[in-house]
């Protein structure tokens, strides 16, 4: 071929390189490993769902990192046969499955991360295996189509009309909040995208529910508004945004000539799951001509349930909404939506030209280029799991998941009311319940000591591996917090939870006595 000798020898070297690569890309290997994965994952799920084992195999974090790093040193390489690769794969899978948090164990009732519909992961896996991503339409036509179909579907559930609204999928609710608030900022402060937010006069503010998720205050920092310019509106007796206080805050801000970028309401709030009175909040925002953003990361799914839909009455009046599918739509992480009531607002977020991406010869396609509306350029096909699950089971499954988990929140509340050694700190509106264990010995304790006791209970329960619950501080005092975001949790698990908490409490009191008497 007339190739130089050195190039020929380089190509000979590449032959070996290619052989190694082909081993990693071998479709037959995928077939064998995929079958193994299906069997092992199904066995693992069956065990988890039967509570056969611990919920969380607690491990000191530094030790976990050391062990994971040690596994890397044992790579077998590509030159071994398919059998050895299969064995290696099975061993790695066994480690992964045994070391993770078992969200499908009915005793997992901790963070706002769902015990997801398992087969949604299969649809996600199709996206990963064939690497379906998007930024422009041509990069991921079906990824784009499924995302758009879900935007349409959920937007209609919110109460909007097809063709009038828009939305995008983001990697999580924090990013959905940031994206919605970026649009609000660009609309309220017309040239801020190009010129920044510095301007003469009083600084613009974000007016938020006092218990708003930290991603909202963080957004104020990122958007150049400043976290010091977040005005927190006081709460009513149910920790909902107090509409009277919202009105007076907006009145004062207007009197001071201070621009308001947006009001941020919650559906529902993170600490106790309180749903703001959205109709009334929307009325106030309308009177003052202010953008309303609703953080419905957790509670948006209530609109799918005829029983609970009333909790989000007025959601359709929001200008923008954040809604996580990996929370109450029970999808694997991450899949979240940012919605806009006015379809055109999607394009207000990022007013940027990127000629190598967006094809000016086909302007109609820009509507379908996901990167026009999201911070991400390349983005996973994050809606595959939701689209596939919806396409199999329809909306009824999602309503059922909301109904059963919200009902269990109520059941736990009733159990707390009936137990003299527990104090429920609010009447739950959904599946988030915050409470304290107050054994007789601590009934007269100072609140700080009682709060500390809750945090210690949580630590012990978590490390025991029997339940996964979280702790929080309500008005500065420690408390236990449960989110029943697991449709497999039943009343009998909640009975056992209270006993496990009592047992942990007893041991703490005994340990304290021992320490005091030996001091
Ligand atoms: C009300 C609310 N908004 C936003 C978030 C953040 O969502 P993500 O974890 O998907 O970023 C959470 C998380 O718990 C939340 O409760």
- 288-326 pLDDT, tens per residue? 999 999 999 999 999 999 999 999 999 999 999 999 999
What H or E segment, with its residue span, contains residue 205? Answer: strand 205-209
- The rounded distance, in Å, linking the Cα atoms of 388 and 381 is 12
Which residue's alpha carbon is nearest to atom 7 within ligand 1?
173
- The rounded distance, in Å, linking the Cα atoms of 3 and 461 is 69
Q: List Cβ neighbours of 416 (8 Å cut-off, separation of 6 or more).
A: 422, 423, 424, 433, 435, 498
Q: pLDDT value at position 376?
A: 93
Q: pLDDT value at position 470?
A: 96
- 364-394 pLDDT, tens per residue? 787 899 988 999 999 999 999 999 999 999 9
Strand 260-266 and strand 292-295: the pairing is parallel
Q: pLDDT value at position 248?
A: 98
Q: Which of 213, 334, 431 is the best mutation target for the ligand 1 pocket, counting ligand atoms within 8 Å of the beta carbon and taking the most? A: 213
Strand 230-233 and strand 205-209: the pairing is parallel
User: From the alpha carbon of 336, which atom of ligand 1 is closest?
Assistant: 10
User: From the alpha carbon of 176, which atom of ligand 1 is closest?
Assistant: 11
The alpha carbon of 402 and the centre of ligand 1 are apart by a number of angstroms equal to 17
The alpha carbon of 297 and the centre of ligand 1 are apart by a number of angstroms equal to 6
What H or E segment, with its residue span, contains residue 510? Answer: helix 491-518
User: Residue 48 burial (CB < 10 Å; 0-12/13-18/19+)?
Assistant: buried
- 14-47 pLDDT, tens per residue? 998 999 999 999 999 999 999 999 999 999 999 9
The alpha carbon of 213 and the centre of ligand 1 are apart by a number of angstroms equal to 7
Average pLDDT over the chain, rounded to whole?
94
Beta bridge partners of 483: 432
The alpha carbon of 269 and the centre of ligand 1 are apart by a number of angstroms equal to 9
Which residue's alpha carbon is nearest to atom 8 within ligand 1?
173
- 4-16 pLDDT, tens per residue? 776 777 777 799 8
The alpha carbon of 173 and the centre of ligand 1 are apart by a number of angstroms equal to 5
Which residue's alpha carbon is nearest to atom 13 within ligand 1?
112
Q: Which residues line ligand 1 (CB under 6 A)?
A: 112, 172-174, 177, 213, 215, 266, 270, 295, 297-298, 324, 336
For the entire predicted model, the pTM comes to 0.94
Q: Look up residue 335 and give its two tokens.
A: 């899949």
Q: Which three-class secondary structure state does DSSP give residue 169?
A: strand
Q: Look up residue 201 and give its two tokens.
A: 């006069």
For CA atoms 222, 224, 228, 231, give the dihedral sign.
negative
Q: pLDDT value at position 342?
A: 95
- The rounded distance, in Å, linking the Cα atoms of 394 and 125 is 21
The alpha carbon of 270 and the centre of ligand 1 are apart by a number of angstroms equal to 8
Q: Are 163 and 340 in contact (CB under 8 A)?
A: no
Q: Look up residue 91 and give its two tokens.
A: 């061993």
């Amino acid at each position: 071929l007339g190739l130089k000798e050195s190039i020929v020898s380089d190509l000979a070297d590449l032959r070996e390189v290619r052989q190694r690569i082909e081993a990693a890309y071998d479709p037959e290997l995928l077939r064998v490993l995929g079958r193994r994965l299906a069997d092992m994952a199904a066995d693992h799920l069956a065990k988890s769902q039967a509570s056969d084992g611990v919920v969380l195999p607690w491990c000191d974090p530094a030790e976990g990192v050391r062990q994971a790093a040690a596994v890397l040193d044992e790579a077998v390489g590509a030159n071994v046969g398919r059998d050895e690769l299969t064995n290696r794969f099975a061993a790695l899978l066994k480690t992964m499955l045994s070391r993770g948090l078992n969200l499908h164990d009915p005793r997992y009732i901790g963070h706002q991360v769902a015990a997801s519909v398992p087969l949604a992961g299969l649809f996600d896996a199709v996206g990963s295996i064939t690497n379906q991503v998007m930024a422009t339409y041509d990069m991921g036509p079906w990824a784009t189509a499924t995302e758009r179909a879900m935007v349409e579907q959920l937007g209609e559930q919110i109460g909007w009309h097809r063709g009038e609204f828009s939305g995008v999928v983001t990697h999580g609710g924090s990013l959905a909040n940031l994206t919605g608030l970026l649009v609000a900022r660009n609309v309220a402060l017309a040239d801020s995208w190009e010129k920044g937010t510095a301007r003469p006069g009083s600084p613009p503010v974000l007016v938020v529910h006092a218990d708003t998720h930290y991603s909202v205050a963080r957004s104020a920092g990122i958007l150049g508004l400043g976290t010091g310019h977040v005005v927190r509106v006081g709460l009513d007796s149910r920790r909902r945004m107090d509409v009277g206080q919202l009105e007076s805050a907006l009145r004062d801000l207007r009197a001071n000539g201070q621009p308001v970028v947006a009001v941020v309401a919650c559906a529902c709030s993170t600490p106790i799951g309180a749903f703001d009175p959205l109709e009334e909040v929307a009325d106030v925002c309308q009177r003052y001509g202010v953008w309303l953003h609703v953080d419905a990361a957790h509670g948006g799914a209530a609109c799918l349930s005829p029983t609970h839909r009333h909790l989000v009455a007025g959601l359709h009046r929001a200008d923008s909404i954040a809604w996580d599918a990996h929370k109450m739509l029970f999808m694997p992480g991450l899949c979240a939506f940012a919605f806009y009531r006015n379809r055109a607002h999607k394009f207000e977020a990022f007013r940027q030209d990127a000629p190598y991406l967006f094809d000016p010869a086909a302007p109609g396609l820009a509507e379908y280029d996901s990167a026009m509306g999201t911070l991400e350029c390349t983005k996973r096909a994050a809606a595959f799991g939701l689209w596939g699950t919806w396409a199999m089971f329809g909306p009824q499954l999602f309503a059922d998941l909301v109904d059963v988990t919200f009902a269990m929140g109520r059941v736990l509340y009733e159990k707390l009311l009936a137990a003299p050694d527990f104090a429920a700190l609010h009447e739950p509106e959904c599946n988030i319940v915050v409470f304290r264990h107050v054994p007789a010995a601590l009934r007269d304790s100072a609140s700080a000591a009682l709060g500390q006791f809750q945090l210690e209970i949580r630590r012990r329960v978590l490390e025991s591996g029997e339940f996964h619950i979280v702790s929080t501080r309500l008005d500065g005092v420690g408390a236990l917090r449960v989110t029943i975001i697991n449709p497999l949790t039943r009343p009998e698990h909640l009975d056992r939870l209270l006993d496990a908490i009592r047992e942990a409490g007893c041991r703490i009191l005994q340990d304290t006595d021992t320490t005091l008497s030996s001091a």
